[in-house]
């Protein structure tokens, strides 16, 4: 029994000493995960414009001057977009600011997340991507726990029972 305990201690100590040398550094969780969801810049018609952020990918679609997709990176308060097939060599950089607004048609204590993007630099499609993105985007739908969008049910019970007044124009595509 003593041999097994000594072996277990040796394994734990070895893991603590060698583990950091062989495992990659953990990636800091800046805003990355906190931005995942579908965003709209037209809250009165949420399905008309969509910016989907999912892990390290983005998709811009809808009634917009620019539609595209590619990879994204977030470093503190800066959003970078790259690898868009329409402009594969252009990297767009935007200043990012998050906030909250009252959710449409729901009680005031229920907030929806907003994201304002300000241009730092972006040459994609002669500025069309920048002209499309430099707006305040409202979170339409999220799967991030307590972070709610304007089309998300106000609580878990409402989501399960369907007893809530879904805002106009929020039906899922």
Sketch the domain layout of the chain as residue ranges: 32-151
C-alpha–C-alpha distance, residues 84 and 28, integer Å: 25
C-alpha–C-alpha distance, residues 20 and 112, integer Å: 39
| pLDDT surpasses 90 at 153 | no
Answer for the pair 55, 39: CB distance below 8 angstroms, yes or no: no
| pLDDT surpasses 70 at 110 | no
pTM for this prediction:
0.73
Q: At 77, list the tokens.
A: 């308060």
pLDDT digits (tens, 9 = 90+) for 19-47: 555 554 443 334 445 789 999 998 888 88
Compute the average pLDDT of residues 62-70.
94
């Amino acid at each position: 029994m003593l041999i097994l305990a000594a072996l277990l201690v040796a394994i734990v100590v070895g893991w603590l000493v060698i583990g950091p040398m062989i495992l990659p550094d953990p990636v800091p969780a800046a805003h990355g995960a906190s931005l995942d969801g579908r965003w709209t810049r037209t809250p009165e018609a949420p399905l008309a414009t969509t910016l989907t952020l999912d892990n390290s990918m983005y998709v811009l679609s809808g009634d917009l001057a620019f539609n595209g997709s590619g990879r994204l990176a977030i470093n503190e308060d800066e959003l970078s977009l790259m690898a868009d097939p329409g402009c594969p060599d252009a990297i767009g950089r935007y200043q990012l600011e998050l906030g909250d607004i009252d959710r449409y048609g729901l009680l005031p204590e229920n907030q929806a997340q907003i994201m304002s993007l300000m241009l730092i630099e972006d040459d994609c499609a002669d500025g069309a991507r920048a002209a499309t993105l430099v707006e305040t985007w409202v979170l339409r739908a999220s799967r991030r726990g307590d972070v709610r969008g304007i089309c998300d049910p106000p609580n878990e019970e409402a989501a399960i029972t369907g007893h809530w007044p879904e805002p106009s124009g929020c039906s899922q595509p």
